[in-house]
Structure 1
Amino acid sequence: MSQWPDTRLIDLLGIELPIIQGPMAGATNSSMVIAVCNAGGLGSMPAAMLSIEQLRDELKTIRQHTSKPFNVNFFCHQPPAADEQRARDWKNLLEPYYRELGVDFDAPTPVSNRAPFDAAACEVLEAFRPEVVSFHFGLPEKSLLDRVKATGAKILSSATTVDEAVWLEQNGCDAIIAMGYEAGGHRGMFLSEDLSSQVGTFALVPQVVDAVRVPVIAAGAIADPRGVAAAFMLGAAGVQVGTAYLFTPEAKVSAAHHRALRTAKESETAITNLFTGRPARGILNRVMRELGPMSDKAPAFPLAGGALMPLRAKNEEQFANLWAGQAFTLGKELGCAELTRQLAEEGLVRLQRH
């Protein structure tokens, strides 16, 4: 029998430990998911940067190497309309960097893409039937969501405000990820684009717990057992941990990202829209400092990254997104399985002391 004060999430998802590995597109592959699942947590496979064939291959590998429940995560944004003038203005803003690095400014601009959940992705879910499916930026249209639910999958999504949490519960979520402002990567906000509406984890979690009936998963600056215990004290039934998993050998991070995670100061993250067009937290680098982390010239999500791609190919440290949450300096050099167990076991010990 579980000793956790709230076992609703464990029971709902069929997992042993209330630890969800955050889906980090580009840094997570099947090896991380498998390790977390086999350790008793919930591994999460991000699909936003995968083709349909790549997604099939990853899910096939996961099914071959674990019998435990796992999660597949999708973005559900609306693809933006083409805006050639905005794209030109954005590239022109970056022109001095092109000249400095010797990059051909007149060459066609690469396309930066993040795929939203669609019918083709839904067919993959219907074939593999993962136990959990999570979404970012709200939920997909009802007909697609109904198809996902018909597979038996439990539905999770991120809320960055109480209003978003209530909306997600009303629209079919089985549990809600309360994503504090401290969290790394893309903000899950979808009812408002106003960053001033965003709430810190310690303020958000108990208010979401009070506002909804479904289990609440705390996310944002939870990187060690102290954060796990604190989340449960606030009423959460589980935690989602992202950045701490970037320190594991299973994480697929670039040399520049690896170095930044281990050398930057705790105060050196910011919310930025430069890299994709949508607010996301990452470690400060040259382009964020010189242009300012937020720019009204950045094209709509996910197109902003295209003009930066030739620059990051020359200097990743200065021109690439280095996603990280505010607690990244707490990261430890552990394997995924060991980290998952440590978060749960030592978190529970701390919780039982109070």
Structure 2
Amino acid sequence: MARTGPSEADAALLDHLRGKGRQVSLAQLERWRLAGILPRNERKPLGRGRGSTSTLHPASADIAEAIAMTSRRCRSIYEAVLRVFAADPRHDDLFVLPGVQLPEQAIRSALDWFVEYGDQSLDRRIERLLKRTSTSSDEKSEMIYRLAMTHYRRVRNNPQPTPERFPNPWSLNDDLEIRSFALLAVAKFIGQEEVGPESYAEIITNSRILKKESPKDAERIKRTLESLLIQRQLSEGRVAPTSSDPDSEQVREQLSGVSISRMRETRDKLAFASEAGRLFSCLLGSEIGEPLTARIHEASTSSIDANMLLHAIIPIAENIPGGGWYRMTGMLITILTQPPEDFIDEGYAIALDRLAHAAAPDRFDEIP
């Protein structure tokens, strides 16, 4: 039977949204329900053959308002979900945690979408490129090289603010260094033999980390590394790709084993630590920021990972309406899926616990 109009509950919801200045259609509500984002109305029988009536789920009004604020034409509905999950769009302060209780499946589906399609990091773009092609190794190497060159030129021309606070151990000062980064991407996904032992060793020794060494020591390190690569290539026939990072399918599988409560708790910690970090960077040295800035300083200098994490998440709070959701989602997935051995010392999960406690000691427990 053809629909004659919105139910009583939906009509009330649409009126509520109009009162908030949000123009939403009945078709949009139905699409959001079909995607598992908006809870279905609850039906109550009237009794004695008089049919039934529908009532809104208690969370529907908040969810619909938030999704209406983050939805745009040509924007994936999953991006809208992640924007709401990362920060309540009704506020511009991450200390105000999202009051929108999105359904668990909506959050999980949105994270899966991000890993598979939304993550625009170079590694994920290369991974998607390789899935779409079945060409030879040489052709794949050339495709990766061109993609990486374009990516790193864009990074050089449009640097993010984070490196200004925390210098990268690498640099992108000229095309030679960009070419080095592009060759490292080829080595990572195809194998070091595609770059060659000599070139690969030279790129590594030219990093800013090893530039601190004397020219004599740097040359010695280069020769040693080159010799090891040649020996490995001769003994194994080829050098395996250097990438040990999990691919998108592995990340999605790992996320499926993470409880929704841990996802939300990690999101809350990132929000508080990011907002506190932003205040710390603005008020450091001022009595106005005490004792918050003192606590953040102590936590961020407790380990290398804590210091790196703080500078990585400050831009979340600096760009809430823009790309903050993207960095928040990327950091959330990293913390939830990467094993401790991938980090320098204590790992981002423990570092985040320290930063979150420093940001809000009454809310988050102190760790030993």
- Compute the TM-score of the two structures, normalised by the length of structure 1: 0.21
- The structure where strand makes up a greater share of residues is 1
- The structure where helix makes up a greater share of residues is 2
Q: Which has the higher contact order (CA 8 A, sep 6+)?
A: 1
Which structure's CA Rg is the greater one?
Answer: 2
